[in-house]
Structure 1
Amino acid sequence: MKKNLSLITALLLTAPLFADNLSDAFSNGKIKGEIKSIYSNSNFLGKSTSDDIATIGGSLGYKTADFYGFSAGATFQASHVISDDNNNNVFSSDLDASGAVLSEAYLEYKLSNTSIKAGRQYIYTPLVSTAIDGKSSESLLKDSFEAYLLTNNDIPNTTIVAGYVDKYQAKTSNDSDTADFEEFEDGAYTLYIKNNSIENLELQAQYLNIDAINSNQDISNLYFQADYKIGLHTISAQYLSSKDESKGSDFEDGELYGLKASGALGIGKLGYIVAFNSSTKDGDVNLGAGAGTSDTAFTAMPVNGGGVPTRANTDTLVGGIIIPILDVTTVGYAGYSWSDGGLGDVSAVGAMAIYPFYKNFLLKINYEHVEIENTIVPAGIEDGNTDVTRVYLSYNF
């Protein structure tokens, strides 16, 4: 009884301090957000008419300060279609959404070098990734995961992430609305490791296993990446293997190799990037879970992503040059894919301009032209060439 009374007395004495600390955790929390507008026009795969869409929206996020190792966060996203001509449904899974969604709502606990994060959250790893700003997967709304992640940094210069993904929220519902969180098959398990023990060398490895509702449609992925810095240059290599059992035994295995070099040209602030990918198996390469994985392949295009280089038995070469002009960063690029099947050879050229015209304001303009060798197009259409224009205007706070 005395022990119980002592415990009750201790709780009563510390209750005011507990309340004050909890109040501080909320009052010292951080708010961040973005207001964004996107306009895009595309005649994807040579449609007779181009689709165009204009949207406005953004996000508002809040994260509490630490409270005995605990913190909580939430991010609210909203989108509104100002105008659209989406007869070909080109933007149905990307920008065509009006509505709002709570994309992050998580609780995180940190103890020493270990943290546990549970709930709705954005994830950025090679095989499990939310849409990435500045990449082809970028949109007005981000996709999100309901997941449980354990992160540990006990090993020097090493980050280990073990996770389980339970649900997934896409960018849109494919029916002009924001998407709900849906069951992610029967769940997915992943293990990700990043190491920087060797000077100038960063190593990454990840394994992902998706348990499909139908057992004969399971997916598994294995990924490796190495980045080595030499002065102002970075040399990178990647390897990805996948098994997608839904494709059947003859086409379920995919394999991708990649090399990339990027850095400064030594003339003013000029920069460059050269990348090569080769897929060597009979099946297409599965990139994993989430919109951001479409940017994992080194030769993923800035607008159309990495679908082309992940086709079976395909070689892809991409090169780009970065040219700063006053306050505007301009990037010109070109790419070519060689393949004997399906779409055949695919070529692309594009340009982008990035202009931070005022504090926290950013304007980006992207244009990409793609030509494909073999296209099945409706009667009356001469080719399957694709032209995409995209304009981003954003304010971060």
Structure 2
Amino acid sequence: MTTHPWLAVGTDHPFGPHHLPYGSFSVGAGAPRLGVRIGEQVLDVAAAAQVCHRDARPYSGGDLTALLEVPQEWAPTRAWLTELVADEDHAPVLAEHVHDLDDVTLHLPFAVADYVDFYASEHHASNVGRIFRPDSEPLTPNWRHLPIGYHGRSSTVVVSGTDVRRPHGQRKAPGDAAPTFGPSIKLDIEAELGLVVGGSTQIGQSLSVDEAAEHLFGVVLLDDWSARDIQAWEYVPLGPFLGKSFATTISAWVTPMVALEPARVPLPAQDPQPLPYLTGAAARGIDLEYEVEWNGTVVSRPPYRTMYWAPEQMLAHLSVNGAKVSAGDLFGSGTISGPEAGTRGSFLELSWNGTEPVTLDDGSTRTFLEDGDTVTLRASAPGAGGRISLGECTGTIRG
């Protein structure tokens, strides 16, 4: 292990120089700034650009948004930052622009332009089918032909650590004569990967799978909070609405796709063969290992490498009808679930719709979320200098 003394971080640190994720931070009452994380510190990127006599415009605005708009700057920026953190000669001018994480407040890392959520795990989709349609085929006929998704609400995407208010809405259990209104009693999580899009297209333009790869800037952890009782009553015939739109939490750090290159793996076999617009060399999986922690107890370890649809296929499908892609778009992978019970990425599956309570380390049991419950998602992946961490995505339920 090599150590960079001026930053006191080893090359094998999960936030070491092989990672360099981006986020938005502020110090005290100061305005938000774009930062890059190195170990347990954050470097002010715009300030570093100014003292290094570099054009600071791609790093302006206090978050990642401006850089997302100029894909041609992504590789040069990473190369420049890698050189900065590796060379002690920069310490005299940069030291005052490096802040301990304990001294900063983290914000939403970019302005979310639009939000779509997919349904890309065959294991999750099959489990949901078995729960809600026990006498039918688990997967709907279209599932293996296209990445299914729904259009979400970008204005309720929040940064990790933000409390989540229990939503209210209409509910109707199968045996009820009429719907009632009130707080959700089946509040759930969905452990997902969020894909951050950069660059823009025009209305009417579609992206191939290989072109889509050029628009994928990076990833965040994502929790698609879900009110299952509200969702079950409203989703026929148009799909999720109020059961999903009240809150989506993402982690504070955006890991660049280039840092995940050592984690890219072949997709599971896709049968039938996808239509030509969904094929391309860039369509690959990602070897991410998740853990889902419920009030301090790790209750599941979902593996992202089992996901059926690749991020590049999802973005190609999103744009194939000519829908505009914008810098700052965010799309979720859908719940990540593996084949075993201990790898399910939602509490709907873990408790099998409330029929199999989950026991936590303190002896209490849960089926769905109660007020005061805290859920934290974590994930890691192979990196060029050792495993990298995607940080945390956490939220606490408030009534």
Identify, as 1 or 2, the structure richer in helix: 2
Higher Cα radius of gyration: 1
TM-score normalised according to structure 2 size: 0.23
Report the TM-score, using the length of structure 1 for normalisation.
0.23
Higher strand share: 1
